[in-house]
Structure 1
Amino acid sequence: MVLIGLAGGLLSGLFAIGGGIIMVPLLTAFAKLNQRAAAATSLAAIVPTSIVGSITYVIAGEVDLVAAGFVSIGAVAGALLGSRFLKRIPLTWLRWLFIIFILLVAARLFLVTPERGQEVALSVSIAAAYIVLGLLMGVLSALFGIGGGIIAVPALIGVFAIGDLVAKGTSLLVMIPTSIVGTASNWRAGTVNVRAGLVLGLSATVASIPGAWLALILPPRVSSVLFGCLLIAVAAQLTYKAVTTQRVARR
């Protein structure tokens, strides 16, 4: 459990993805938690991890507080909407579209090196776009159990032309309210494994600090390629889930 938390925390600090993308499959495989309990417990562990990780980025001056505020508004609303959609809509076609989207983003990361130190002038349209990004981030996170950073970081870099470090710091900051809201909902539903969540949260929090500092010292090109590789791994995991789900449905 400690090793799972360390791995998730390191990825959370390095890529601002929350860490659930690696913690959930490891919890189901090695900690013998079912999918629902693993996702809920991982989300609970992300609360302290995102707080400590974002503080590291704030100290380094790599967070856009205004963008984080607007994205958080949309993300919290999107998470609530996504939890409702989860019970009502077929996810098969949406999952495959999401996989294609992730692969396209990964391809862009391999081809384009993000620039650092850029600033985006705030306007009404930019603020509205931030909220829409948050909605998309929250809905897809709830539907697929994927950390919102998978969507937020590439979007902030590619669409809003924000530097990669600021995108990561901002994404981690947004995860604080969204993970708290999600964990509160899971707590009421009784799906959080409290003991596992404490162990995961403590170890992930410890690992998130060196992960964040590593992100700060990595060259933009190396960071971009590593994040692209991670997205390919995420797409592979989602593809496996999609194929497995379709096979089970046919039986």
Structure 2
Amino acid sequence: MILPLLLVGAVGGLLSGMFGVGGGFIMVPLLMWLASMDQRRAAATSLLAVVPIAAASAIGYGIQGEIDLSAALIVAGGALVGAPIGSWLLRRLPLGWLLWLFIAGMLVVAVRLVLVAPERGAEVEFSTGVLFGYLLLGLVMGTASGMFGIGGGVIAVPVLMTVFGMGDLLARGTSLVALIPAAILSSSINLRGGMLSMRDAAVVAAPAVPASIAGVWLAFLIPPAVGGVLFAALLLALAAQLAIRDLRKRRAR
């Protein structure tokens, strides 16, 4: 089973470095398909592997000065609050219409990224409104992660670019730092719950870390307009994955 885990890590690491996301949205289905894991174990394995992947990618962006550390810490604080809220809502709310509303939101963001190319080098002027906006973003990230089992990067990066006007590379580096604390917290909970194999996560992370560094290198080479289109394709793939998963559950019921 080592070869499938290595393959999953290489793919997830490359996408994480290129787009500033955790990579869980692609690693979870690949772990289920190639490594025959159930969804819960796949999600837990992916989440722990995300920690060194995001850290390595963030170092690459940080060396180039493409991290807003203050924004990252504020967003991370909101995500730490939102994650348990999402887990609580998952057990108590019918999530069908919420999921499709979330999918529709990703489609809108994807269209905007295609029509309006993100700027490179743009920074956000800090203010009280921006502070509350970052906290709200983190809250939404954490809640969506707990409810739908997705990483926060696919939410944080496009919102930081399209809503706050942050440059594409700065948004990716900031997102990677912001998602690390929640991933550590959730992984510790999964480990205590017996849902996590440290060995599997380590095997996934082994090729993912160098692959993520290669992904960061590619991110700096790709023009902002092309990067926006590629990220839009990433959002469309995630929306399709969530929609198919929900339709299959409905059909099974």
Report the TM range for the smaller structure's normalisation: over 0.9
Aligned partner of 2:209 in structure 1 is 205
Q: Does 1:193 align with 2:203?
A: no
- What secondary structure sits across from 1:241 in the alignment? helix
Letter in 1 for 2:83: A
| 2:92 partner SS | coil
Supply the AA of the counterpart residue of 1:29: W
Residue in 2 that maps onto 1:64: 68
Q: 2:228 aligns with which of 224, 228, 239?
A: 224
Name the SS of the counterpart of 1:86 in structure 2: helix
TM-fit CA distance, 1:65: 0.8
1:246 corresponds to: 250
| Post-superposition offset of 1:101 | 0.7
Corresponding residue of 1:73: 77
Aligned residue identity for 1:180: I
1:50 aligns with 2:54: yes
1:237 aligns with 2:237: no
Residue 44 of structure 2, aligned match among 36, 40, 48: 40
Q: Counterpart amino acid of 1:184?
A: S
In the TM superposition, 1:109-188 aligns within 5 A as 109-188=113-192
How far the C-alpha of 1:2 sits from its partner, in A, is 0.3
Which residue identity lines up with residue 65 of structure 1 in the other structure? L
Q: Which amino acid aligns with 1:4?
A: V
Amino acid at match of 1:179: A
Unaligned runs of 5+ in 2: none
Q: What corresponds to 1:88 in structure 2?
A: 92
Q: Tell me, what secondary structure is at the counterpart of 1:162?
A: coil
* C-alpha RMSD of the superposition: 0.8
TM-score, structure 1 as length reference? 0.97
Residues matched between the structures, number: 249
Could you tell me the percent identity over the aligned residues? Answer: 51
Unpaired runs of 5+ in structure 1?
none
**In structure 1, distance between residues paired with 2:105 and 2:247:** 17
TM-score with structure 2 length normalisation?
0.97
Q: Which amino acid aligns with 1:211?
A: G
